[in-house]
Amino acid sequence: MDTTLFIWFLTALYGVSGVISMIAYLPTIKDLLHWIPSANFTTYFLWFLYYLISVLYGIFVLYDWLFIVVSGLDTLIIGLIVFLIIRVQRGEILVELKAKKATIAHQCKQVISTIKRRKKSW
C-alpha cells in the first residue's frame, strides 16, 4: 500500500473519529438537558482539562490543525457537559432547599394552628 494513501486514509479516519466521539456524548447531554444527573462532575472536569491541554499542545507544539480541531471540538462538548452537570447539581440543591422551606412553612403553620386552638380552649 502506498504510504501517501495510507496517511491520507489515517488522517480521514482521525477526523471522523472526532465526530464519532462527539456523537457518543449526545446521550449524556440529552440526560442532563432533561435534568437527569447521569454524569460524574470530577470525571468530566478532568477530561475537560485533558482536552484543553491537548488543544494547547496542538497549537504550541504540534502545529497540527486537524489535531487542534478534533481536540477543540472534544473540549467544547465536554465543557458543555461540565456546564450542564453544574446546572443540574445547582437545580437539585435548589429543589432540596425549596422542599425544606415548604416543610418548615408547613410545620410553622401547624404550630400556629396548635397555639390558636389552645388559646381558644383557655
Which domain covers residue 23, as residue numbers?
A: 3-95
Asked whether residue 31 is assigned to any structural domain, the reply reads yes
Q: How many structural domains are present in the chain?
A: 1
Question: Is 116:60 a contact under the CB 8 Å cutoff?
Answer: no
Upper half-sphere CA count for residue 12 (Cβ side, 13 Å): 6
**Residue 34 grid cell:** 432533561
> Tens digits of per-residue pLDDT, 41-100?
999 999 999 999 999 999 999 999 999 999 999 999 999 999 999 988 887 766 666 666
pLDDT at 18: 85
Please check the confidence at residue 8 and state whether its pLDDT lies above 80.
yes
pLDDT at 26: 93
Q: Is 23 exposed, middle or buried (0-12, 13-18, 19+ CB in 10 A)?
A: exposed
CATH of the domain at 80: 1.20.1280.290
> Tens digits of per-residue pLDDT, 11-25?
999 989 888 988 999
Which of residues 2 and 78 earns the better pLDDT score? 78
